[in-house]
């Protein structure tokens, strides 16, 4: 699953950073739990790019007639992060099934090893009529499955 051309993906772990922005916190300056789910989606987008898949042709591909909606998401928030912080996100594929992908996320301080938050997101392949189908071969190959 490694991509030697992409320094962001190594040994199946994709690393990116996220700056906590002005609108990402709760009224007390702590990252709003909802923002973490946005960060997770962004991490998937970056992961896809790192393996050569364009997100705008992967989450939904009108021409090829498939979609990859998120059907389940979970996260645990262990320690507060704050406005001005930069987070390091490590993204892995936890599991690939014939019709589904489960991404796993871990958030750390930019230069620390303390787990701030962790989560998962399950994507399922569907066809034009929203029926579950096998993962498109192109996606499967790019993800190394």
CB of 11 to its own copies, least distance (A): 25
C-beta of 2 vs 71, nearer to its own copies: 71
Whole-angstrom Cα distance, residue 111 to residue 86?
9
Tokens of 10: 């190594």
Is 127 one of the catalytic residues?
A: no
C-beta of 4 vs 28, nearer to its own copies: 28
C-beta of 82 vs 97, nearer to its own copies: 82
CB of 135 to its own copies, least distance (A): 18
CB of 138 to its own copies, least distance (A): 17
DSSP string, 60-117: EETTTTEE--EEEEEEEE-S--BTT-EEEEEEEEEEE-SSEEEEEEEEEETT-----E
Distance of CA 29 to the CA centre of its chain: 24
Of these residues, 26, 85, 113, 134, which one is catalytic? 26
Residue 35: closest CA among 77, 71, 72, 68: 77
- Contact residues for its own copies, defined by CB under 8 A: 19, 21-23, 25-30, 32-35, 37-38, 41-42, 45, 54-57, 59-60, 69-78, 80, 82-84, 121, 130
Positions annotated as catalytic residues are 26
């Amino acid at each position: 699953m490694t991509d030697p051309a992409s320094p962001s993906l190594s040994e199946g772990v994709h690393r990116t950073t996220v700056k906590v922005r002005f609108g990402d916190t709760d009224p007390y300056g702590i990252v709003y739990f909802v923002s973490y789910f946005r960060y997770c989606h962004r991490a998937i987008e970056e992961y896809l790019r790192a393996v050569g898949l364009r997100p705008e042709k992967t989450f939904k591909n009108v021409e090829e007639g498939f979609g990859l909606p998120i059907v389940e998401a979970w996260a645990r928030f262990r320690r507060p992060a704050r406005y001005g912080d930069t987070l390091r996100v490590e993204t892995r594929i936890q599991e690939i099934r014939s019709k589904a992908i489960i991404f796993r996320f871990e958030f750390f301080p930019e230069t620390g090893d303390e787990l701030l938050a962790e989560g998962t997101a399950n994507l399922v392949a569907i066809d034009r009529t929203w029926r579950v189908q096998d993962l498109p071969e192109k996606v499967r190959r790019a993800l190394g499955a």
